[in-house]
A and B are shown apart, each in its own frame.
Chain A
Amino acid sequence: MTLLVLLSISIVVAAAVYLSLSRDLFRVVIGLTMLGAATNLIVFAAGRFATLTPPLLTTVEDAQAAAVANPLVQALVLTAIVISFALLCFALVLGARLRAQAGNDDVKQMHATEPVAWDSVKPPELEN
């Protein structure tokens, strides 16, 4: 099970890196989000995969008897998922707005904050 999750994490990370290195704005957003999903899987994996018994235990003996997964990690991953979901939404809105304002979705064309120098020794002027 751990090996399986490990493999899927590495596949997700590979896909995420490939996508986020793309020039297409939307692919970059998706790639970064997938990287977040992979990270969440890592957090999840940190709490071992045990039985199908949920970690809702009533007595201490129960907790010692059953080899259950670590419940704290599941709380952590829930928090992490919430945060990464919020960031995904933000990134989507940001990406959509950026594409609307820039008029294209080529990341390499986005030079407004760092204009290309026309003088060989002096930096370009920023508008205001």
Chain B
Amino acid sequence: MLVLSPLLVPLFTAVLTVLLQRHQRAQQGVSIAGAVVLLLCALWLVQEVSSVGRIQLALGNWPLPFAIEFVADRLSALMVIITAVLGLGVLVYQTSIAEPASESAMLHPLLHGLLAAVGGAVLTADLFNLYVWFELMLITVLGLLVVQDGYRHTEAAFKYFALNLLGTLLFLATVAMLYGTTGQLNFSALADAAQHPELKAVIPVYVAMLMSAFLLKAAAFPLFFWLPASYHSLPAPVLALIGGLITKVGIYVLLRLMGEVFIDQPAVFYEALGWIAIATMISGVLGAAYHWDLRRILAFHIVSQIGYLLLAVALATPASGLAGVFFMVHNILAKAALFLIAGIMWQAAGHYDLRRIGGLYPARPLLAVLFLIAGFSLVGIPPSSGFWGKFLLVQESFVQGRYLWGGLALFVGVLTLYSMVKIWLEGFWKPHPQGTAVTATNRQLTPAYAVVLVLALLLLVTGLYPEPLIQYSEAATSMLWQESAP
């Protein structure tokens, strides 16, 4: 049951919050309580997995490989705990007045549905079940876009829907063909079947299709256009959850499929993936450099950071997997913190466009410090957490002789610094264009500050003392790209 808790707890919470639709206070309370329970379950799961290594559960007592199997190992437990932390943080932030999502009756059920979908996608060991969780993820994100009233959200939802549906359908078609060829859907059974000499020639075709589907889901070059078109219309807390998490689930699945199921593919795949990663990094960071709207800058940085994670998949060794996982943890936290800070900046200065705001440094010194921590982490200035992620990644690409990839990754870091400096100069340093339009501090902002503070502290701790996380990630990724996959 413990394995299933990351999806059952949010599902039950979602059901309860729907039943409590009429009582807003109670609904909020249940929602936050559900997130706390999820976090406790996630902590328990991590502890359990650290000692046992791997927990399996075949639903309905069906024999494997026919049963839908759920597997928790260190890697998936890590994703579960980040999801839980982020979920709780976002729900607490939502109680403040820093651009909360409008409290429609469906907001909390949808948020918990999203958490359940992420938990399911992370834990499942069955390809078709993975498709179902991705559909649930798609439909909850669409719901979250639509419950915000206004034409802009409807339009964003449609763009998101049209492009993401293509990815999901491609995924489903590939699942069907894989099953038709191998007769398996379970991950470990598929891994065995993929080694069959007769299938050696045809499996790479399917892997290429799967890769395209997940590259679209992860917003990689040149399939990222849905992301900057839709994300920025979300309110701050929802944006932090979705922007921090959803694309990374695509990367996580890619890492698992490439590293554990379909290991040892033709070299051209990894070559292509590497160049796609570089193109994603550069196009994302250039898009961010062009924009002046805080949310759009940060949305383009999601794309750029996805490039780094793809590079980790492209290098295809346990060491690069370690770098990728460490970078993913850091990136989810940093990205969410930045989106949440942007929400507070909006509340204080009245707009998201950097040309219209300013003067936040004298008015909000604490916010400025928090922004510096999160921003430096995103850029990767030592000793922030981003530094270690990039260090491990660039080191591995140099070790493999990929000097160009490593060098370009460092160069993109400089451009990221440009964006962060732009936000700093325009938002914090320059005086406000309309004199003193910075609103007075408000006690109702306390939850928002508390959440951002916790995230910033987590970033600081992983930056100053990265050893435990590195060790954990090393244990989590040691099974990637090994011939004797479990």
Given the interface pairs A35-B166, A86-B139, the reply to whether A126 lies near B176 with Cβ below 8 Å is no
Given the interface pairs A126-B293, A128-B351, the reply to whether A113 lies near B135 with Cβ below 8 Å is no
A102 and B151 contact, CB distance less than 8 A? yes
Given contacts A39-B173, A76-B175, A98-B155, 15 further A-B contacts (CB under 8 A): A39-B169, A43-B175, A72-B179, A73-B176, A73-B179, A76-B179, A94-B161, A98-B158, A101-B151, A113-B229, A113-B230, A113-B232, A114-B228, A114-B229, A125-B355
B173 and A42 contact, CB distance less than 8 A? yes
Q: Which of A20, A42, A95 counts the most B-chain CB atoms under 10 A from its CB? A: A42
26 A-B interface contacts by CB (under 8 A): A32-B161, A32-B162, A35-B169, A43-B173, A46-B176, A46-B180, A73-B176, A73-B179, A76-B128, A76-B175, A87-B135, A91-B161, A94-B142, A94-B161, A98-B155, A110-B155, A113-B155, A113-B159, A114-B228, A122-B292, A123-B290, A123-B291, A123-B296, A125-B292, A126-B353, A128-B351
In whole angstroms, what is the CA distance A43 to B131 when docked? 13
In whole angstroms, what is the CA distance A26 to B139 when docked? 19
Contact string against B for A residues 22-45, beta-carbon threshold 8 Å, 1 for contact and 0 otherwise: 000100100010011001001101
In whole angstroms, what is the CA distance A73 to B292 when docked? 50
Q: Which of A94-115 contact B (CB under 8 A)?
A: 94-95, 97-98, 101-102, 110, 112-114
Given the interface pairs A42-B176, A95-B158, the reply to whether A113 lies near B152 with Cβ below 8 Å is yes
| Chain B residues closer than 8 Å to A113, beta-carbon distance | 152, 155-156, 159, 229-230, 232-233
Contact string against A for B residues 151-173, beta-carbon threshold 8 Å, 1 for contact and 0 otherwise: 11011111101100110010011
Q: Which of A42-87 contact B (CB under 8 A)?
A: 42-43, 45-47, 72-73, 76, 79-80, 83, 86-87
In whole angstroms, what is the CA distance A128 to B150 when docked? 12
Across the A-B interface, give the 5 residue pairs with the lowest CB-CB distance, nearest first. Answer: A46-B180, A43-B176, A46-B176, A101-B151, A39-B169
Given the interface pairs A94-B142, A122-B292, A128-B351, the reply to whether A47 lies near B166 with Cβ below 8 Å is no
A90 and B142 contact, CB distance less than 8 A? yes
| Chain A residues closer than 8 Å to B138, beta-carbon distance | 87
B353 and A125 contact, CB distance less than 8 A? yes
Nearest Cβ on chain B to A16's Cβ, whole angstroms: 10
In whole angstroms, what is the CA distance A112 to B291 when docked? 16
Would you call B352 an interface residue if the criterion is a C-beta within 8 Å of the partner chain's C-beta atoms?
yes
In the complex, what residue of chain B is closest to A33 when comparing beta carbons?
B165
Cross-chain contact of B162 among A28, A39, A114 (Cβ < 8 A): A28
In whole angstroms, what is the CA distance A128 to B159 when docked? 20
Nearest Cβ on chain A to B250's Cβ, whole angstroms: 18
Nearest Cβ on chain B to A4's Cβ, whole angstroms: 17
Nearest Cβ on chain A to B113's Cβ, whole angstroms: 13
In whole angstroms, what is the CA distance A125 to B151 when docked? 17
Nearest Cβ on chain B to A102's Cβ, whole angstroms: 6
Nearest Cβ on chain A to B358's Cβ, whole angstroms: 15
In whole angstroms, what is the CA distance A123 to B233 when docked? 16
In whole angstroms, what is the CA distance A47 to B183 when docked? 9
Would you call B132 an interface residue if the criterion is a C-beta within 8 Å of the partner chain's C-beta atoms?
yes
Would you call B177 an interface residue if the criterion is a C-beta within 8 Å of the partner chain's C-beta atoms?
yes
A128 and B151 contact, CB distance less than 8 A? no
A32 and B154 contact, CB distance less than 8 A? no
Nearest Cβ on chain A to B448's Cβ, whole angstroms: 18
A90 and B139 contact, CB distance less than 8 A? yes
Contact string against A for B residues 10-48, beta-carbon threshold 8 Å, 1 for contact and 0 otherwise: 000000000000000000000000000000000000000
Would you call B57 an interface residue if the criterion is a C-beta within 8 Å of the partner chain's C-beta atoms?
no
| Chain B residues closer than 8 Å to A95, beta-carbon distance | 158
In whole angstroms, what is the CA distance A35 to B165 when docked? 9
Given the interface pairs A42-B176, A46-B179, A125-B356, the reply to whether A83 lies near B161 with Cβ below 8 Å is no
A87 and B155 contact, CB distance less than 8 A? no
| Chain A residues closer than 8 Å to B158, beta-carbon distance | 25, 94-95, 98, 110
Cross-chain contact of A47 among B151, B161, B180, B296 (Cβ < 8 A): B180
Nearest Cβ on chain B to A109's Cβ, whole angstroms: 10
A102 and B176 contact, CB distance less than 8 A? no
Nearest Cβ on chain A to B142's Cβ, whole angstroms: 7
B176 and A76 contact, CB distance less than 8 A? yes
Would you call B421 an interface residue if the criterion is a C-beta within 8 Å of the partner chain's C-beta atoms?
no
In the complex, what residue of chain A is closest to B154 when comparing beta carbons?
A98
Nearest Cβ on chain B to A45's Cβ, whole angstroms: 8
Given the interface pairs A101-B154, A123-B292, the reply to whether A87 lies near B180 with Cβ below 8 Å is no
Q: Which of B229-259 contact A (CB under 8 A)?
A: 229-230, 232-233
| Chain B residues closer than 8 Å to A42, beta-carbon distance | 172-173, 176-177
